[in-house]
Structure 1
Amino acid sequence: MTARTTIRSRTRLTALLCAVALLAGACGNATAGTPVPNGDEVSSYLSAKFSDTLQKLSDSLGNNDTRKSVQDTFARFDQKKINSTITAVQLGHPPARLSKNHSNQDSNEYLDDFHPANSPVEYLLLGPVYASLAPTHWVSMPYTAGDYNECYWGGSHDVCKMLGAIDDSVTKSKGAQSANSKADGSIELTANVTMTAFLDNSVITFPQSILDQIGPEMKTKSFQAKITLDGQGKLTDLQLGGTVTGDGHELEINEHYRLDGVPTENDLPKVPDAADVTVLADSAAVDDFYNRMGEIQDR
């Protein structure tokens, strides 16, 4: 398995809103250091708070808050591994966005996606593994995300998928375990994430050859998630992982998203020189580019 870009992938906004709202609102009435009920009771408690917090979180997401984050992804299916890190910056109003998707197994495998604020195009820096895709270091393509929220860019796409899996597990499988408020006003929540929810939300994009080997026994298993929200209900840390076995195979997962300080202009690259940019002018050129990228990633 190799690290895979999330640049073109899209996930539903509802999953993020539902999951974060469900969880952040759960502890609105909890006192510092006090757990709310466990098991079935916490699942019902979390769900009951959803409608009260949805609008607030929707407004917050629409504000495109300045943030800097890191997400590490490790997955091992028997002896095949994925090990990559996405570092991301969102800065300004309207935001400039940078997401750097780098393999931790091969330093030559990376893709850096940069959208300057208000730019009609976004830029993609190709690591040496992808050098055959263009005669220059960078390619540009029309920026089509418009006013979509963070779920529609590489810096937050994967965390949205994790939250979608947590939401499905809490609402469909009563996966919520505990919710505790801390003395500093932060909230820590834990939940079981079913293998079905993990796969349905494509938290990690496995090749079909691996999906075909995940059978009924393994699909009954679950991973553990821990979510940390600050005193204002802002997601600051999310971990999802564990090791499951079944059908003669073993799957180990370790996903970790966290905020990483306050970004500045120094965290963003300069717009690349036109001489070092291959222009993908229309959807046909973009589709061809990503089809060829997929062929490289599937090797």
Structure 2
Amino acid sequence: MMRVTRLTLVALLLTAGCGQSVTGTPVADPDGTRKAGEKAYSVAVQALNAYLQKTTDLRGSIYYYAAVNERKSGSDVDIAMRGTPAAFYYKSRSKTPPGYDYDTYHPASDPLEYVKLGQAYSSIAPTPWVSMPATEPGFTCAIAGLQTLCKINGALDATDKAKPPGRSTTATTAADGSTEVRTEITLKAFVDNSVINIPADVVGLIEPGLMNKLVPVKIVVNSDGTLHRAEVKGELQGSKTKVQIELGYESRGPADASDFPSVPQPGELTALPDKAAKDDFWDRMAKIRNN
């Protein structure tokens, strides 16, 4: 009798346990996670495109760094754009190597644009500023600084079409309502779209097998659906080549008058009269930078 009672008690305890919640780790839903990531990615790309197409007053910061073995280059850039027609200011500070700094400023409706030369470029002109005929960009992706976002967008699109195996896209939502989307692009898409302009001889150092490797991308969208940040950051190691990439654009809200310098005084200027002189100026800057 005692034996039966004990067996019955065990059976009752086991049966009672079946109706209770059990603490543990929930099983992930891979298909649901994938679909959520794809939806967030689509929203992030839309936010990036909307920023490029609709934002007229902006303040942004960009950082660039690329290294292929011992060949390295990096800089920080601030841009500001305001008004219609727009005033535009671009301020570049070279970090690797240092000293290759310059600013460009195009006041609204001014037929001239102005370039301020850093120390490394001081041999080009006897004055700190150079003026030249302004060139209207015509479309957003021709605007210095914003080109970075356009090129990231192009690399994302190229990778979408290539459908590389192993590409991962996920999304997380922060407490402030912003969404962070993590995805990847191929190194080939990065190079082909000149997300960072890498000289051809440096590209030639990259092993072909690395070109289909994936580089992480992060896009952060604010709670109101606007773009906050986009960045590409990763490191690839081949048998003979090491590639490092760090690049990002951060939106810092609308620009105001304090973001723009004063127009240089005549005594601070060397005037370039035409397009030929302007082209020669930029060629000379490029030669100094690439030596």
Shorter-chain TM-score bucket reads: 0.7 to 0.9
Does structure 2 conserve the Cα–Cα contact (< 8 Å) formed by 1:170 and 1:191?
Answer: no
Give how far 1:163 is off.
2.1
The range that moved more, 171-180 or 137-146, is: 171-180
Does structure 1 conserve the Cα–Cα contact (< 8 Å) formed by 2:74 and 2:97?
Answer: no
The aligned counterpart of 1:276 is 268
Task: Work out the CA distance in 1 between the residues paired with 2:77 and 2:86.
Answer: 18
Instruction: Decide whether aligned partners of structure 1 residues 57 and 204 sit closer, same or farther in structure 2, where only a CA change above 3 A counts.
Output: closer
Q: After superposition, give the CA deviation of every residue in 1:44-84 in whole Å (9 maximum; x if it has no partner).
A: 75798899x69x956x6454432211111122222222121
Does structure 2 conserve the Cα–Cα contact (< 8 Å) formed by 1:114 and 1:122?
Answer: yes
Does structure 1 conserve the Cα–Cα contact (< 8 Å) formed by 2:207 and 2:240?
Answer: no
Consecutive aligned runs of 4 or more in structure 1 exceeding 6 Å deviation:
46-51
Instruction: Decide whether aligned partners of structure 1 residues 227 and 63 sit closer, same or farther in structure 2, where only a CA change above 3 A counts.
Output: closer
Task: Work out the CA distance in 1 between the residues paired with 2:49 and 2:251.
Answer: 18
Matched, 1:143 2:134: yes
Does structure 1 conserve the Cα–Cα contact (< 8 Å) formed by 2:40 and 2:181?
Answer: no
The aligned counterpart of 1:76 is 67
**After the TM superposition, which residues 123-202 of structure 1 pair with which residues of structure 2 at under 5 Å, given as runs?**
123-149=114-140, 151-173=141-163, 175=167, 177-182=169-174, 184-202=176-194
Task: Work out the CA distance in 2 between the residues paired with 1:48 and 1:107.
Answer: 38
Q: After superposition, give the CA deviation of every residue in 1:130-159 in whole Å (9 maximum; x if it has no partner).
A: 11222221112222225522x222231222
Secondary structure of 1:167's partner? helix
Secondary structure of 1:123's partner? strand
Give how far 1:92 is off.
2.7
Does structure 2 conserve the Cα–Cα contact (< 8 Å) formed by 1:69 and 1:259?
Answer: yes
Q: RMSD in angstroms over aligned alpha carbons?
A: 2.9
The aligned counterpart of 1:103 is 94
Instruction: Decide whether aligned partners of structure 1 residues 256 and 45 sit closer, same or farther in structure 2, where only a CA change above 3 A counts.
Output: closer
Does structure 1 conserve the Cα–Cα contact (< 8 Å) formed by 2:38 and 2:169?
Answer: no
Instruction: Decide whether aligned partners of structure 1 residues 37 and 70 sit closer, same or farther in structure 2, where only a CA change above 3 A counts.
Output: farther
Give the alignment's TM-score, normalised by structure 2: 0.78
Which amino acid in structure 2 is aligned with residue 297 of structure 1? R
Does structure 1 conserve the Cα–Cα contact (< 8 Å) formed by 2:111 and 2:133?
Answer: yes
Instruction: Decide whether aligned partners of structure 1 residues 61 and 261 sit closer, same or farther in structure 2, where only a CA change above 3 A counts.
Output: closer
Instruction: Decide whether aligned partners of structure 1 residues 215 and 281 sit closer, same or farther in structure 2, where only a CA change above 3 A counts.
Output: same
Task: Work out the CA distance in 2 between the residues paired with 1:57 and 1:103.
Answer: 28
Instruction: Decide whether aligned partners of structure 1 residues 89 and 50 sit closer, same or farther in structure 2, where only a CA change above 3 A counts.
Output: closer
Give how far 1:249 is off.
1.0
**After the TM superposition, which residues 259-298 of structure 1 pair with which residues of structure 2 at under 5 Å, given as runs?**
259-298=251-290
The aligned counterpart of 1:7 is none
Give how far 1:87 is off.
0.9
Give how far 1:91 is off.
2.2
Give the alignment's TM-score, normalised by structure 1: 0.76
Task: Provide the aligned length of Structure 1 versus Structure 2.
Answer: 260
Report % sequence identity.
Answer: 30
Give how far 1:206 is off.
1.5
Does structure 2 conserve the Cα–Cα contact (< 8 Å) formed by 1:97 and 1:117?
Answer: yes
